[in-house]
């Protein structure tokens, strides 16, 4: 495991333990990415937040709302890359219904424990949480209808493998509905690092052009990478859509 991956894992583990230890004290969300209002549960409306336990909300560490992007349908199989405390898995499970399934993939045991606790409290049983890496998805090829993710792909140190894996596990006609941090094309890697560190979801962000190039390289079509809000100078929360032919 790379040093950076271990640093990310350690920070997420501490975030999960903070939520578990708080026992729903109402002390506010735990920020794992940059600690400001650009990250967390702010992108979910009150109706969505009412569907999940408080601890799932407290552990929401993303930069967007992939559920609003993915347009989930009854009976679909969904995979959440970097599922954290389980907020998006629980919301997905409700939308795909009893005939569908929602998988959550995370590398952090503490987050998986928290997610399973939250799913049980929410009363959803069409979910499964898997331990593993987004660069090595432990599911067979062509087994998933939709992949979602919330501010996680930027944290990978082996991003081409993530794109390879997304394409592999999707069924033909499957799609992506992702929220992530994306850099303006004019920013160099050094300039991105000046705006925030790697585990803060900033330094590891790809540019819009790089994101689109990777999606196209592995074979995705109908590629869209659109900014939604600025999280740092010329660094943006963005929604990512693409389809596997």
The most confident of the ranges 25-39, 192-206, 219-233 is 219-233
Report the pLDDT value the prediction gives residue 27, as an integer from 0 to 100: 36
> Which residues form the domain of 30?
3-243
Report the pLDDT value the prediction gives residue 3, as an integer from 0 to 100: 73
Report the pLDDT value the prediction gives residue 30, as an integer from 0 to 100: 43
Band the pLDDT of 200: cuts 50, 70, 90.
Answer: low
How many domains does one find in the chain?
Answer: 1
Q: How far apart are alpha carbons 139 and 142 in whole angstroms?
A: 9
Chain mean pLDDT for the chain = 87
Mean pLDDT lowest among 58-72, 148-162, 175-189, 227-241: 58-72
Report the pLDDT value the prediction gives residue 29, as an integer from 0 to 100: 42
Give the helix/strand (H/E) hosting 93.
Answer: helix 87-96
Decide if pLDDT at 36 tops 80. no
Report the candidate in 111, 73, 126 with the shortest Cα–Cα distance to residue 95: 73
Average pLDDT over residues 111-130: 96
Q: What is the pLDDT of residues 39-96, one digit of tens each?
A: 667 778 889 888 988 888 877 777 889 999 999 999 999 999 999 999 999 999 999 9
Average pLDDT over residues 173-194: 92
CATH code, 230? 3.40.50.150
Report the pLDDT value the prediction gives residue 54, as an integer from 0 to 100: 85
Decide if pLDDT at 20 tops 50. yes
Decide if pLDDT at 193 tops 60. yes
- Which residue shows structure tokens 């900014």? 227
115 or 197: which leads in pLDDT = 115
Report the pLDDT value the prediction gives residue 42, as an integer from 0 to 100: 73
Band the pLDDT of 197: cuts 50, 70, 90.
Answer: low
Taking the whole predicted model, whether its pTM rises above 0.95 is answered as: no
Decide if pLDDT at 34 tops 50. no
Among residues of the chain, what percentage have pLDDT more than 70?
Answer: 82
| CA separation, residue 88 to residues 68, 114, 179, 236 (Å) | 10, 13, 11, 21
- Which residues, including other chains, have CB under 8 Å from residue 104's CB and lie 6 or more apart? 79, 80, 83, 86, 88, 89, 112, 115, 127, 128, 129, 130
Q: Which runs of consecutive H residues, i.e. helices, occur in 28-78?
A: 46-49, 54-58, 66-70
């Amino acid at each position: 495991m790379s040093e950076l991956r271990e640093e990310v894992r350690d920070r997420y583990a501490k975030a999960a333990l903070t939520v578990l230890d708080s026992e729903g004290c109402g002390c506010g969300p735990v920020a794992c990415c940059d600690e400001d209002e650009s990250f967390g549960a702010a992108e979910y409306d009150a109706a969505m937040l009412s569907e999940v336990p408080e601890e799932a909300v407290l552990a929401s560490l993303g930069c967007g709302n992939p559920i609003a992007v993915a347009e989930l349908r009854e009976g679909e199989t969904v995979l959440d890359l970097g599922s954290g405390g389980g907020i998006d898995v629980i919301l997905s499970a409700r939308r795909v219904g009893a005939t569908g399934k929602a998988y959550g993939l995370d590398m952090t045991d503490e987050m998986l424990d928290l997610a399973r606790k939250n799913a049980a409290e929410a009363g959803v049983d069409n979910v499964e949480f898997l331990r593993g890496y987004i660069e090595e998805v432990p599911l067979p090829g062509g087994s998933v209808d939709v992949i979602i993710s919330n501010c996680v792909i930027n944290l990978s140190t082996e991003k081409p493998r993530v794109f390879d894996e997304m394409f592999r596990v999707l069924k033909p006609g499957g799609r992506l509905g992702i929220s992530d941090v994306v850099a303006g094309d004019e920013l160099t890697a050094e300039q991105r690092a000046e705006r925030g560190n790697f585990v803060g979801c900033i330094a590891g962000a790809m540019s819009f052009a790089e994101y689109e190039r990777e999606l196209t390289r592995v074979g995705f079509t109908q590629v869209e990478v659109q900014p939604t809000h600025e999280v740092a100078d010329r660094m943006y929360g963005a929604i990512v859509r693409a389809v596997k032919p």
